[in-house]
Amino acid sequence: MPCDAVLSLVTTVDPGGRDGTRLREARQTDLLSVYRIEKTVFKQPWPYAAFERLLDAPAFLVAEQPTGGPTVDPAAAKHTDGSGVVGYVVGDTTPNHGRDIGHIKDIAVRPDTQGQGLGRRLLRRALHHLAASGASVVKLEVRASNTRAQRLYGSEGFEPVRTEPRYYGDGEAAHVMALELGDWIRTERD
């Protein structure tokens, strides 16, 4: 896919999935919902301040259901404008001698909306944003026990690079996975 096509995908508003859930860049008013999802999904959640610091990251995106969308926990789902944030992804880039590295730092979907393809949509959109930001390779870390996420990443072309023992605060190892972004763009899966 040519670079212009990547930029078009990044600047075009995501029309939404079958359920009307759309993806967009995160805003300050999303952070409480993002933080609530983080605390629900992860054993060792990021602090709220971490999301504040990354708000301007090139691939900090949220999945948002339209007003009146299905919800189990309205307190965790309600966005200040009345819509529901049901997932997010945080990705940034680091300059690296002409071969910038993208990093998917965090991705989560609210438990009652998991299994509907939102994680994959968020990941793909973030990869497009990272490509438009100049990344040529993207890495991420995933818990050794999180085989569901490993399957998702593998199906998008991420490959295991190494294992970091005791990476997480509870002593669990992380698998570092990487993706050549140019290859992914050329062979993007449907």
* 141 is known as an active-site residue: yes
Q: Where do we find the tokens 């509907």?
A: 116
Phi, psi (deg, nearest 5) at residue 133: -85, 0
Short-list 4, 105, 123, 13, CA closest to 57: 105
What is the spatial distance between Cα 143 and Cα 153, in angstroms, rounded to a whole number? 12
Q: Name the active-site residue from 25, 48, 141, 164.
A: 141
What is the spatial distance between Cα 136 and Cα 133, in angstroms, rounded to a whole number? 9
Contact criterion met (CB below 8 Å) for 94 and 103: yes
Q: Name the active-site residue from 35, 38, 64, 153.
A: 153
- Residues recognised as catalytic: 141, 153
